[in-house]
Structure 1
Amino acid sequence: MNRRALDREIARLAVPAFLALVAEPLFLLGDAAVVGHLGTRELAGLGLAGTVLSTVVGLCVFLAYGTTAGVARQLGAGRRREALAQGVDGLWLAVAIGVPVTVATSLLARPLVSVFGASGGVEDAATTYLRIAALGTTPLLLVLATTGVLRGLQDTRTPLVVAVAGNAANLALNILLVYGVGPAPRLELAGSAVGSVLAQVAMAVALVAVVVRAARREGASLRPHAAGIRAAGRAGVPLLVRTLTLRASLLVTTAAVVLAAGEAADAGAVAAGSGDAVPIATHQLALTIWNFLAFVLDAIAIAAQAITGRHLGAGDRKAAREVTDRMVQWGVRSGVATGVLLAVASPWLGALFTPDAAVRDALVPVLLVAAAFQPVAGVVFVLDGVLIGAGDGRYLAVAGLVVLGGYAPLVLLTSALGAGLTVVWVVFGLAFMGGRLATLLRRSRGEEWLVTGAAA
C-alpha cells in the first residue's frame, strides 16, 4: 500500500476519533473545573467517585473494542448485514450488563468509596456523587457498544458529533445545576452528577438511533438473539480481563497515593488542617489530565482496530503489517508532541481546576513526570489497538496479568516506604507503562496475531 494513501486512511479515521476521544475525558475535566471551585474536599470526593465509576464503565470497554474488531472483520469479508447483526447483539449485551451494574453500584456506593480509606468528609462527598452518577452506567455502556459498531463500519465521524454535543450539554447542565441559575436549584456536587447523567442518556439515544437505522437498511434483525449475545460475551472475556488488569493498576496507584497521603498527614508532613485532601486532589487532576492525553494518543489505536480488523477480514496480512508499522511511527511522534505540550503547560494547568495553591504547586512535578512518558504511551496505545483489531485478546489478557503482578507490589511498597506523590508517578511510568511496552513489542514482532478471515 502506498504510504501516502495509508496516511490518508489513518488520518480519515484517526482525526475524528481523536476529537471524539478528546471529548470523552472532557466530561470529567468539565466536572472537575466546575466542582473544584466548590472546595478541595468536593474535588477530592469527585476524584474518588470518578475513579470508581470510570473503573466500572471501563471494565466494559470490550463492548466498543471487541465490537469494532468483529464488525470490521465482517466488513472486510464483504458481509455488511452480518456485521450489523453482530453489532446489534453487542447493544443488547450492553443493556444486559448495564442494568444490574447500575443497581449494584448505586446501592454499594459507600462501600466502594470506603475502599480507598479517605477521610470522612471526602468519603461523604464521593458517596453523594457516585450514587447519582451510577444511573448513567447503562447509557454509557450503550455509547460504548454503538461507538464500536460505527468504528467497525469505518465511521468515526458520527461518534464525534455526538460526543461534542454531549460534552457541551454536560458542561451547561453542570453549571446550571451545581450553582443554580434562574429557577434551577443550587445542588452543588449532586448537581454535577445529575447533569452528567442527563447528558449521557441523550448521547446513548442518538447513537442507538443511528445504528438501528443502518441495521434496518441492511435487513439485519433488531431482536435480541441469545446465541449472538452469548458469543459477544465470550469474545469479550479476554478483553475484560485485559481491561481489568489496566483498571486494577490505576486503582492500585490511587490506593498507593491515599496510603502515602495518610502517612504524611499522620507525621505532620502536610499543612495543618489539609489532611489527605491535597495529595488525593492533586493525583485526581494529574490522572484526569493523563487520561485526557491517553485518549488523544488512543485515536491512532482506534484507527488501528478498524483498519487491522478490516484487512485481516479480507485476508490481507501484508497490509495489516504495513498499517502496524506506520501507525507505530504515528504513535511515537504524537507522544513526543503531547509530552512537550504537557511539560510546557504544567505550571499553569492547575489554576484551571482549583484555587488551592498547595494543589497547584504539587501538580507541576507530577505533570512533568507524565510528560516524560508520553512517547512510551504513544507506542503502547497503538500496539494495543492493533492487537485488539486482530482479535488477539487472549494474549493481551495474559500480558496484562503479568504486568499487574509486577507493578502492584512495587508501587505499594514504594508508597509504604514513605515516597511522595511524584515518586509514585515515576514508578507508574517505569514499571507499568514500561512493562506494557515490553509485552506489546514482543507480540507485535511475531506472526501469531496475524489471523485472517471473518472471525478471529
Structure 2
Amino acid sequence: MLRLAASALVVLVAPPLYLMLDLAVVGRLGAHELAALAVATLVLAVVSTQLTFLSYGTTARSARAFGAGDRDRAVDEGVQATWIALGVGAVIVAATWFAAPWVTGALVPDDVVAADAARWLRIAVFGVPLILVSMAGNGWMRGVQETRRPVIYVVVGLSVGAVLCVGLVHGVAGMPRLGLEGSAVANVVGESITGALFGLRLVREAAGRLAPVGPVIGAQLRMGRDLIVRSLSFQICFVSAAAVAARFGVAQVAAHQVVLQLWEFTSLLLDSLAIAAQQLVGAALGAKLFDDARRTSAHVTKVSAAVSVVVAIVLAAGAGVLPRIFTSDRGVLDAIVVPWWFFVVMLPIAGVVFALDGVLLGSGDAAFLRTATLAGALGAFLPMIWLSYAFDWGLAGIWTGLLLFMVARLGAVVWRVRSGAWLR
C-alpha cells in the first residue's frame, strides 16, 4: 500500500512544485507578467482538471480487470481512455484558443495583464491533449500496479520543462529570451514529453489493440460524467468560499487562502493513500476476493486516519509558530487562528473520508460518490457560506460549512461501506 501511495504522491506533488518554480521564474519579469501567469494557469487548470476521471475512473476499471487476471483488458481500458483524452483535448485546444482573450478579459480588469494572459494561454493550451494522455496513462498504470514508470515519465517531462522555463524566460545558456511566452513554450514541451512517454508505453503494451471501442468509451464516459459533477461541486464550493472570504476584508481572505493551501497540500498526501486504496480494492474485487477487499478497506482507512492525526498534532503544536512561515502581517496572523483550528479538527475526519472515497472509487461506485458530494455541498457547505455572508459570521461561518461538508461526506461513505453495496 505504501509503495503504491508513494508513487502516486510523487506524481501528484510534481506539477504543483513545477508551478511554484514557474511563478518564481516569471515573477522576476515583473508584477504584470506574474499576474498574467497566475490568471492563465488558473484557466488552464480549470479546463484540464475537470477530466481527472481519465486517471481515477481508468484506475478503477483497469484495477478490476487486472485483479481478474486479464492484464490485456486492463491495458485496453487505457487505450480507450487515451482516445477520449485526444478527442476532448482537441476540442479544448480549439475552444480555448478562440475564447482566451474574452475569458482573461472577463477575469482581469487590466487590459495589459489580460492580453499577456491570453497570449500565454493560447500557447500553453496546445499541451492539454498530452496532459490528458498522461492522466489516462497514470490511470491504467496504477490499475496494473506499475509504480516506477509513471514517476519517471512525470519527473523527466517536468525536469526538461523546468530547465527550459528558466532558459527561455530569461535567455539563459544561449536560449532565446522569450519572456512570459517562454514559460508557455516550456510548459508545452514538458507536458508533451511526459504525454509522449505514456503514449509510447501504451502502444508497446497494446500492440494490435489500438482501435477505439465504442461500448468501452461509453462506459468510461458515464463514469466520467459522475466524477466531473463531483469535481465541479468541489470547485463551486471553494470558489464561493473564497468570494465570501474576500468580502470580509484583506486580512481574512489572506488567512483563508493560507489555510486553504495547507488543506490542499494535505489533500495530496491523503489522496495518495486513497489512490492506493483504489488500486488494491479494485484488484481484489476483480478477483472476487471480497474478504480481501473488506480487509483492505479497513486497513487503508486506519493508516489514512493515523497519518491525518499525526499531521493534526503537528499543526496544533505549531499553531503559534507555523503561520509565521507564511506571513508576518499582524492582521493576517490574528485572522488565521479561526480557520487554523477548524483545519486541525477536520483532519482526522478527512483521513477517513479520503480513504473510503478511494475504496468506493476502486469499486466503481462513482454514482454514489457524486450524489453524496452534491448532497453535502448543497445541504451543508454552500448554505453555511452564504449565511456567513448574510449574517457576517466571518471565517468561522465559512469553515463551519467546510467542517459540516466533511461530516456529511463521512456519514455517507461510512454508511455505504458498511452496507456492503459497494462490493456489488
TM-score w.r.t. structure 2 length?
A: 0.86
- Cα 1:280–1:130, aligned 2, differ >3 Å: closer, same or farther? farther
The answer to whether structure 1 residue 373 and structure 2 residue 346 are counterparts is yes
Name structure 2 gaps, 5 residues minimum. none
Displacement, 1:149?
Answer: 0.5
Q: CA deviation at 1:225?
A: 2.6
Which moves more between the two structures, 301-310 or 281-290?
Answer: 281-290
Return closer, same or farther for 1:381/1:72 CA change in 2, 3 Å cut-off.
same
How far off is 1:253 after superposition? 2.8
Q: Could you say if the C-alpha distance between residues 294 and 391 of structure 1 is closer, same or farther in structure 2, counting changes exceeding 3 Å? A: same
Matched letter for residue 324 of structure 1: S
- Paired residues, number: 419
CA-to-aligned-CA distance 1:323-376 (integer Å, 9 cap, x gap): 01111111112212334555647345437xxxx969986896566654553333
Corresponding residue of 1:411: 385
1:350 maps to which residue? 326
Task: Name the structure 2 match of 1:106.
Answer: 97
Distance 1:369 1:46, change over 3 A: farther
Deviations 1:279-332 (A, max 9, x none): 777766654543332112111111111111111111111111110111111111
Give the distance between the partners of 2:366 and 2:2, measured in 1 at CA. Answer: 25
2:192 to 173, 183, 201: 201
Change (3 A) 1:25 1:283: farther
- Residue 16 (str. 1) matches residue 7 (str. 2): yes
Work out the percentage of aligned pairs sharing the same amino acid: 35
Match of 1:93 among 75, 84, 90: 84
Distance 1:375 1:126, change over 3 A: farther
Output aligned runs, 1:173-184, within 5 Å. Answer: 173-184=164-175
Q: Does 1:248 align with 2:232?
A: no
Contact 2:60–2:361 at 8 Å: present in 1 too? Answer: yes
Q: Which moved more, 1:125-134 or 1:385-394?
A: 125-134
Instruction: Report if aligned partners of 1:25, 1:292 keep a CA contact under 8 Å in 2.
Output: no
Q: Is the 8 A contact 2:68 2:287 kept in 1?
A: yes
Structure 2 contact 12–268 (Cα < 8 Å) conserved? yes
The equivalent position to 1:233 in structure 2, one of 192, 199, 221, is 221
Deviation at 1:59, TM superposition (A): 1.4
Gaps of 5+ in 1: 1-9, 265-269, 271-277, 452-456
**Structure 2 residue 132 is matched with structure 1 residue 144:** no
Q: For residue 314 of structure 1, what is the aligned residue in structure 2? A: 287
Provide the residue aligned with 1:6 in structure 2.
none
The letter for the 1-side match of 2:212 is: P
Moved more, 362-371 or 95-104: 362-371
Cα distance between partner residues in 1 of 2:252 and 2:83: 41
Q: Of 182, 192, 200, which residue of structure 1 is paired with 2:183?
A: 192
Over aligned residue pairs, what C-alpha RMSD do you find? 3.2
Superposition deviation, residue 443 in structure 1: 1.6
Scaled by the length of structure 1, the TM-score of the pair is 0.80
Return the match for 2:370 from 397, 404, 424.
Answer: 397
The 8 Å contact of residues 332 and 379 in structure 1, kept in 2 or not, is answered as: yes
Q: Distance in 2 between matches of 1:449 and 1:299?
A: 21
State the alpha-carbon separation in 1 of the partners of residues 112 and 254 from structure 2: 13
The equivalent residue for 1:71 is 62
Please tell me the residue identity of whatever aligns with 1:384. D
Partner of 1:274: none
1:242-271 C-alpha deviation (Å, 9 max, x unpaired)? 22222322333333345x27xx4xxxxx5x
Counterpart for residue 267 of structure 1 = none
1:162 aligns with 2:135: no
User: 1:378, CA displacement in angstroms?
Assistant: 2.1
8 Å Cα contact 2:223/2:367 also seen in 1: no
In structure 2, relative to structure 1, the CA distance for the partners of 1:158 and 1:349 (3 Å cut) is farther
Describe how 1:235-384 pairs up with structure 2 within 5 A: 235-258=223-246, 260=247, 264=249, 287-341=260-314, 344=318, 346-347=322-323, 349-350=325-326, 365=337, 370-384=343-357
Q: 1:129 to 1:253 in 2, by over 3 A?
A: farther
Q: Distance in 2 between matches of 1:50 and 1:189?
A: 12
| Structure 1 contact 140–204 (Cα < 8 Å) conserved | yes
